[in-house]
A and B are shown apart, each in its own frame.
Chain A
Amino acid sequence: MIRILLITSVLGLSACTTVQPWEKDLLAKPSMALVPDENENFLDEHIYFSKEASTGGQGVGGGGCGCN
């Protein structure tokens, strides 16, 4: 499954166009951050870590919890 997802990703990236620095006005907006609200993301990770059997994927570190 992960292999299929990886191949799909590589194929998808081939569609990228080169964006010049002066064309990054939209990308520079705070609302376009991949994680626009880090505390919300952090709290969600904590909630779902304690309610589901899956965790991780976004980064490393962050702290442990005895809740699961």
Chain B
Amino acid sequence: MQLKNTPCSSDISTHTDHSDKQNKLSIKSKLTMATCALLQAGAPAAQAESGEWDIDTALLYYTEDSRISVFEPVISAEKEIDENEFVKFKLVYDVLTGSTPYGAAPSPSAQTITNPSGNSTYSVAPGELPLNTTFKDTRVAFSGDWTIPLDRLKQITVGANFSTEYDFNSIGVSANYAQDSSDKNRTYTVGLGVSADTWDPVGGKNTELAYMIDPEGSTPQPKGGTDTKSNFDVIFGLTQVVNRSTIMQFNLGHSTSSGYLTDPYRYISIIGTDGLPLSGADLVNAGGADAFPYIYEKRPDSRARNTFFWRTAHHLTEDVINVSYRYFTDDWGINSHTLDFRYRYELGGSHYLQPRLRYYTQSEADFYTNSLTAAQASNVEFASADYRLRELVTTTLGLKYGVGIGKNSEFTVRAELMNQTYTVTDPNLDGNNLELAPDLDAVIIQFGYNFFW
């Protein structure tokens, strides 16, 4: 749930002179009423009329070069059920297919890796970055929000959300309180959210830091069933009208997660004295069972995150600049900066083009590692080779086109190119022309259609 800027939704009683001219509106109030009436009449696709549903649909296609593809339709519907009282529902469906790296490093030798189910294996050719090719999931998410006005300056929004996928379920509730200043030039917000997630990994949960068992060996992989984590978020926000053409928002957020924060499928390569991953033939004796030279990752069971977020919309003569910056820091050692810039270029009529640049950079998690020696594997407290915990840079360049259709509808399409580059080096792999961290390139296509019903 996000703060809306409604600078003209002010209850005009603000400007009523109650002291000595009761029941008469001041000149200022009349001007306000007249201006707001004019603005609302002149703004296309601004607001649904009372009783109408504001329907917003989108269709996302995301595809990585030779890896994951995602198809994700979204529909949301909002309605004013009473004066300044709104309900909003959102339904999301996700289909993911493709292959993704699960942490293993490339090797000069062929590798054999156990599938996430734990009962079969797959082979990786020498020199190739191992990818899990069985990645496939569908996800359904539903959320509902109810905004209730407390008085003309205060409102509260309560929400609930639920999502389910094959191996993961999440349920959460949230509440957001917003209070405007009397001139409606400033809004203070406080938001609280709690959620509970349940992992039910394919084949059961792997034992953290345990060796990957060869399913064709004598001893089956010990599996741990399901596990849970909980999340708590609090956010304080301030939105300020800076001048006639600029509005700004500042948010300060704190989140904590606790419980099972490990990724149940990811693992780490064990390397030999030459610094290269042990080969498929180098079975490791793990407690008497035949194992492959990988251990399952383990992350701390708690995480605290802090964010500072700033966003500004600025109106030029015709065009609009929308820019945001986020600083993120957590107790896993990750610090990140996100800059997002959009320029809405009005083409005339109701057409516009919007170039966009997003730049993201993060430091690596304290427990990130490319690989481990057998000795390190037996002593390490936490370790993960998840590429998303590396030092990395993501750059996204995009273009969006929008056109108003009739009085109350808008169609949009955006196309973006995303590149992710990792700042990791491994002299032993590099020396053997083995690429641990090739760039990730992705294409994002989204269609959107908004209408009233």
Contacts and interface: CB of A to CB of B under 8 A. Distances in A.
Asked if chains A and B come from one complex, the reply is yes
Closest 6 CB pairs of A and B: A64-B170, A66-B168, A61-B174, A60-B193, A57-B309, A22-B35
Please report whether the interface of chain B is mostly helix, strand, loop or mixed according to DSSP.
Answer: strand
A24 to B, nearest CB: 4
A22 to B, nearest CB: 4
Given A25-B39, A65-B163, A43 B74 contact: yes
Contact of B362 (A6, A13, A30, A54): A54
Contacts of B310: 5, 9
Contact of B162 (A46, A53, A63): A63
Interface stretch (B109-117, B214-222, B243-251): B243-251
A26 B317 CA distance: 10
Given A32-B320, A37-B412, A39-B448, A60 B1 contact: yes
A12 to B, nearest CB: 8
**Count class of interface residues, chain B:** 35 or more
B243 A16 contact: yes
A5 B308 contact: yes
B195 interface: yes
A43 B396 CA distance: 14
Contact of A34 (B40, B165, B170, B313): B313
A1 B137 CA distance: 39
Nearest to A3: B308
Interface in A9-50: 9, 12-13, 15-43, 46-48
Interface stretch (B56-64, B120-128, B288-296): B56-64
B101 interface: no
Residue of A13, A15, A16, A58 contacting most chain B CB atoms (<10 Å): A58
Interface of A: 1-2, 5-6, 9, 12-13, 15-43, 46-48, 51-68
Contact of A2 (B141, B174, B327, B334): B327
A12 B326 CA distance: 17
Contacts of B183: 18, 21
A21 B336 contact: no
Residue of A34, A47, A64 contacting most chain B CB atoms (<10 Å): A64
A57 B307 contact: yes
A9 B174 CA distance: 27
Nearest to A46: B72
Contacts of A56: 233, 235, 253, 255, 305, 307, 328
B241 A16 contact: yes
Residue of A27, A31, A40, A42 contacting most chain B CB atoms (<10 Å): A27
Contacts of A5: 308, 310, 327
Interface string B283-326: 00000000000000000000001111111010100001010001
A29 B43 contact: yes
A26 B165 CA distance: 43
A11 B411 CA distance: 40
Nearest to B250: A9
27 contacts: A13-B240, A16-B242, A16-B243, A17-B244, A24-B8, A26-B245, A32-B313, A34-B249, A35-B2, A36-B322, A39-B58, A53-B332, A53-B389, A54-B307, A54-B334, A54-B338, A56-B307, A56-B328, A57-B251, A57-B307, A59-B191, A60-B1, A60-B192, A62-B174, A64-B197, A66-B167, A68-B388
A8 B240 CA distance: 15
Contacts of A6: 252, 308
B444 interface: yes
A5 B308 CA distance: 8
Nearest to A31: B320
